[in-house]
Amino acid sequence: MARTDRSIWRQALNAGIVAGIVSLLLALVGMVESFEARDIIHELVPMGQLLLVAPPFVLGVGTARKLTAGRAISRPLAGLVIGLVCGVVLVAVRLIGEAVNLREVFINASPALYEGLDFGRELLPAALLRLAASGAAGLAGASLALLGNRLRNALLQAIVWLVLLGLLRDLMVIVINRWGPITPLLRWMFAQRGLTPVGAASVFVVISALVFLRGGPKAAAKAARPPGRQRVVSLLTIGSITAVLLLLPPVLGTFFSQVLDSVGLYILMGLGLNIVVGFAGLLDLGYVAFYAIGAYTMGVFTSPELGFFNLTWFQALPIALVVSAFAGFILGLPVLKMRGDYLAIVTLGFGEIVRLLALSDWLRPWLGGSQGIQRIQQPTIGSYVLGNQMQLYYVFLAGCAIAAFVALRLKDSRLGRAWMAIREDEDVAVAMGIPPVATKLMAFAVGATFSGLGGSILAAQLTSVYAHSMTFIVSINVLSLIIIGGMGSVPGVIVGALALIGLPELLREFAEFRYLVYGAVLVGMMLTRPEGLAPEARRRLELHEEELIAAGGEPATVAVAAAE
């Protein structure tokens, strides 16, 4: 589609206004201020400033990619316009803030924020600097469009890695300091805060070079290896991944083990929900209920506090799993006839009912009411208690490994194919002889079991359960992570859990804004890439059928080829 020059500028103007509003929102919700203290590159690039220039940069990249017509020079110029408009918005609000006390309404419009916006200078030079910074970001983003795809991706990935490394500087240093002889080799990269300029430059160069070279002809050669060798390679990969996973806690220390435990818990729940939502296409918003049921069953059966039973953790585990599976079955029964959004709401209702019941005084003698259940047993092997975070990591790891194995095997089984058939078109699936009742119930029961397992391990980790923590938010966390990773994709669950659960645990500043970011990511993901970060081939096919057909070629082969 050819666009006239005028519409280019209009698009740039619109994109600039959007960028300005996004930057402003980032500033006013307090993100800029709370990241101000974290430098990506020591004393040179603070994260807060990076957040302010990120929107014009990203929109510059996006807009320039859309502009295919016109002279090449118009694209960077459009980027410049985007940046300048964004800068104007920020400066305007800054000036309003000078005249009116915005803090009465927007609690984050504080002097600290203004100082950040002004780069600590007087108003006029600050305004000019702000315009220049935003303009440069927009220009840089749009100029990337002039480069080839391969180079652009390499540069963008290098930027992402740079930001990540800079943000996680403190943790990296803690870990590296444990490594003895290797420490000085890597320590020079990190400054007091963030990376050193030299370190940043070398990281940038190394990563962009690596990505650039990997995208070359070698990638194609890898796929062409003979099957026998592929098998050996994949066995080797699995072996080394297992070794790394087993060695992680002693290498990384207690704090990281705790983070990994949370990630493991969410991987477990994600794998379960992935079966219900991803495989069978039944949107379950009350997934937290099964996790609560698993944890509470563990509590009731092992805690001496309530005085009913006094089993060990491993004795109670099968009971907890069976109870969770049964709960999934019970929930599944009445909602079988429902589809889509009604199902989502009913399951949401179930989740809330379970939580309210657990909290109520009515069931206090059995479930502990708002005080929860304390003194839950931890897993023991012989007389050896798996008590601390590093030991529990192995319990989570074992749980995740089993769950992932089961999920992967189920996916290619008759049942898995039946789930996917129901997801794609229930009526057709039933017409082809798939029993809808049994198939859906199995999805609910298997999903609930995984979640119950997660809940049981969590109960052991905390040695207590509280209904207060079993809110709707947990269900949303799990749902978000499987959507980010890619619905129906098992590796996607792991990617999603690392990104959504691991990152906020590592970055305290981020934790405060995690739900804001989750929400934005969910919407953005659905709008631009509904199949997720690590998509499953079939799912991608479903969501992009029309585009793939339009692009030519038979859809199934195209999608599978694209996923390889």
Partner 1 sequence: MRRTWRQRITFTDVVIWGIGLAIAAVVVVGTIATLRSGKYTPEAWFDLALSGLALGGVYALIALGYTLVYGILRMINFAHSEVFMSGPFTAVFVAQALNRAGTIDSHPVLSLLLITLVSASVSCLIAVLLERIAYRPLRTAPRLVPLITAIGASFFLQYAFRGLYGSGIRAYPTLDILDGAWNIGTFRVFRTDVVIIVSAMVMMLVLYAIVQRTKIGKAMRAVSEDKEVASLMGIDVDRVIVVTFALGGFSAGVAGVLYALAFPVVNFYMGFIPGLKAFTAAVLGGIGNVPGAFLGAMILGVVESIGPNLFLDGLGVPAPNQLKDLVAFVILVFILIIRPTGILGERLAQAKA
Q: Give the footprint of partner 1 on this chain (CB under 8 A).
A: 25, 28-31, 104-108, 277, 281, 283, 285, 330, 333-342, 344-346, 348-350, 352-353, 356-357, 359-362, 364, 437, 472, 476, 479-480, 483, 513, 515-516, 518-523, 525-527, 530, 542-543
DSSP 277-343: IIIT----S-THHHHHHHHHHHHHHH-TTT-S----HHHHHHHHHHHHHHHHHHHHHHHTT--HHHH
Closest to partner 1 by CB, 38 or 544: 544
Q: How far is the CB of 35 from partner 1 (least distance, A)?
A: 13
The minimum distance between CB 411 and partner 1, in angstroms, equals 19
In the bound state with partner 1, the residue whose beta carbon lies nearer, of 184 and 334, is 334
Taking alpha carbons only, the member of 338, 259, 270 closest to residue 476 is 270
| Selection from 215, 72, 66 nearest residue 147 by Cα | 72
Helices (H) and strands (E) in the chain, counts: 28, 4
Shortest gap between Cβ of 72 and partner 1 (angstroms)?
Answer: 29
Shortest Cβ 517–partner 1 spacing (Å):
8
Provide the minimum distance between the beta carbon of 281 and partner 1 in the complex, in angstroms, as a whole number: 7
Q: What angle do CA 18, 19, 20 make, to 5 degrees?
A: 90
Min dist CB 368 to partner 1, Å, is: 14
Burial class, 125, CB count within 10 angstroms (exposed 0-12 / middle 13-18 / buried 19+): exposed
CB 424 within 8 A of CB 411: no
* HSE-CB of 517 using CA atoms within 13 angstroms: 17
> Is the alpha carbon torsion for 101, 107, 113, 117 positive or negative?
negative
Residue 311: what are its φ and ψ, rounded to 5°? -80, 165
> How many other C-beta atoms can be found within 10 angstroms of the C-beta atom of residue 51?
20
- Rounded to a whole number of angstroms, the minimum distance from the CB of residue 114 to partner 1 is 16
Could you tell me if 40 and 46 are in contact, meaning their C-beta atoms sit under 8 angstroms apart? yes
